[in-house]
Amino acid sequence: IFSDARAEMIARTEVAAARIGSHFDSWNKSGLVTKVKWLALGPDPCPDCEGNDGEVREIGEKFPSGATRPLEHPNCYCILTAVGFKGSDE
């Protein structure tokens, strides 16, 4: 039903979404991570992802694109990294 390329794109996107979602949810529920940074990675980030690249937000706050976390679209390679922590000198 799907070409190999489409099946690979779907699998990669779904795995990435699960990974990013679980990190985000764990960080948010723990209360220990206070800020996150969006990193636009991959061969050709879209304009929305480029606009979010390097931006730091309170966890759960919207980035310039309106998203609170990656993935913005299929084949998105973006990630979040934790950069602010409860009790640190953020």
Q: What is the pLDDT along the chain (90 residues), one digit of tens a residue?
A: 789 999 999 999 999 999 999 999 999 999 999 999 999 998 889 999 999 999 999 999 999 999 999 998 888 999 999 999 998 865
Beta strands in 1-90, from DSSP E residues, in sequence order? 33-39, 56-58, 79-85
- Identify whether the C-beta of residue 48 lies closer than 8 Å to the C-beta of residue 72: yes
pTM of the model: 0.89
Q: Is 80 helix (H, G, I), strand (E, B) or coil?
A: strand
User: Any bridge partners for residue 57, and if so which?
Assistant: 36
Among residues 50, 70, 68, 48, the alpha carbon closest in space to that of 58 is found at 68
Q: Quick one: tokens of 51?
A: 């606009």
